[in-house]
Every structure is written in structure tokens, then in C-alpha cells.
Amino acid sequence: MSILIDERTTFIIQGITGREAVSMTRECLDYGSKLVGGVTPGRGGRGVHGVPVYDTVKEITSQQRVDGSVLTVPPAFVRDAAFEAIENGIKLLVIVTERIPRGEVAQVCEHARMHGARLIGPNCLGLISPGKSKMGGIGGAAVKRAYTPGHIGVMSRSGGMTTEISNTLTAAGFGQSTAVSIGGDAIIGSTYAELMPLFEADPETEAIVIYSEPGGPMEAQLAEYVRATKSRLPVVAFMAGKFMDAMPGMRFGHAGTIVEGRADTAAEKIARMQDAGISVAEAIQDIPEIVRSRLNGKGA
């Protein structure tokens, strides 16, 4: 099984005529995803790799079921585009765009919550259910090599590292149930802890691997979730940017990697996760063996 998307999921791309979106369209179609339309105001009637382009979301949703939307519009237009999708009944939004004002991201998150919609991103590459569907640019040209169907859920603040970790798992014989690039910004729609219940509800997901960075509360929230729920899923984490602990004030990686205090440091995050029973790998290549050990019933 999978979470959020499967082979039946239909979706659109808002901003489909942009350069990156054109490439994304080709990749999604090649993977077999059910991309049913695109939106770019003023360019209705055109096509992108055979996908029809419309001026508004409503033109598509009034004709057929649309489960999701990938937003690749410029930062200044993301809020309006997201509101348009949500208000036309779309329940899964993947926001690829980065550098969106935080206040507007917060408004989109709240609007999605009020309408029962799920938001992934912003500043993400999307998600994939291997062998079934992908939404966004996740995996790129390497998608069929890096991702294989299986039982490990993957979540990562880095889109590229989502693929790197999945490729490492695949090479060791571990396929993935669903892999999610959750986004690297300070405010995102779905955190590790918020996605965990979905993986918990999937009987075919047997373990979780996450890629993390210093800054923000997401690891503490995940540790608290694992501890409070006594999660059935063993969790393995890799923490990047440990060198930042010795270099106060240095920025690393994504916009969300802002260390505001001791609780945001790599060392403190590692300690919190380990205290909750989450295994922390020293190197990415160590992840498969730790996963194998945890699945065999050995402790964190």
C-alpha cells in the first residue's frame, strides 16, 4: 500500500507552462502518473506533452475528479493558486515553490486545515509511491533506479536526500512504501510527526527512515510522537550538519535550518531522538543495516 497517492490518484500542475514544470510534466507522464491537466492563466487551450492547459482550476474540477495539485507558480502567486485549488475541492497540494513569505505560507496552511486538505511543502520535490505514481519532480531521471516498491517509508527535508536515501535502501534490497520530500522551509504543511499516523495506518509500511538537519522543532515533535504513541514502526534517522554545533551563527542547507538555541542543535536533536528509541545513523550507508537490525527486533 502507500500513503497520500497511489495508481488511481489524479492531479494537475498549476503553472504547467513554466520551464521546470514542462520537464516535470514529462517525468510524471513517463512514470505513469495520472496527470490530467494543467493551469496557467491566459494560456488555456494549449497543451504540454499532450496534457491540456486551462485558465482556471475550476474548468478542470467541473469536468472530472482531481485529487491533487502540484504548484510551481512564482512565489508571489502561490497563496492565490493554493486558495484556488483548495476552494475547488482539491485535497492534496504539493508546493514546489520556495522563497514564499512566511505569513502567506501560514495562511495557506490554515486554509488547507479549515477545508480538510493536506499540504506538502513548500520548497519540496513532492512524493512518490514507487511503481504507482509520483507527484512533483522527485527522483528526476533516476526515479526508476532509485525507487522500488517495498515496505520502508521515507521522509526528508531535502528533496535530493529523499532520493539518495531511497537509492541506498533500494541497493540493499529495501523498497519504499511512500517517500515524501516534506520541504526545507521554516514553515511547512506536513511535518514528520503529522505524517507518521498515515504510515502507522498503512499495514505494509514496516519502518521509517528520515533525513534531518539542525534547526526547528520537527525532530522533537517526532520524538514526542514516537514516545507518546509507542509507535509500532521502528524509526531510523540521519542527522546532517553536525559540524554546525561548533560554528554558532552559521547557516546550513535549507531556509528552515536556523539554530535559535540549544534545542535546535544537531547534538540535542540526536539525544532527543535516541531517548525516544529512534536509531541515529552516523552515515547514510549505515542506514540499511540499522533498518535490518530494527526489523529483526533488535533495539535502538
How far is it, in rounded angstroms, from Cα 39 to Cα 62? 14
How far is it, in rounded angstroms, from Cα 258 to Cα 249? 8
Residue 186, amino acid: A
Residue 219, amino acid: E
Q: Which of 49, 115, 151, 254 is catalytic?
A: 254
Q: How far is residue 172 CA from its own chain's centroid? A: 22
Q: Which residue has the cell 511547512?
A: 188
Dihedral angle over CA of 129, 130, 133, 134, nearest 10: 80
Inter-CA distances, 197 with 4, 152, 172, 185, 200, Å? 12, 14, 26, 22, 5
Does residue 254 carry a catalytic annotation? yes
Which of the residues are catalytic?
254
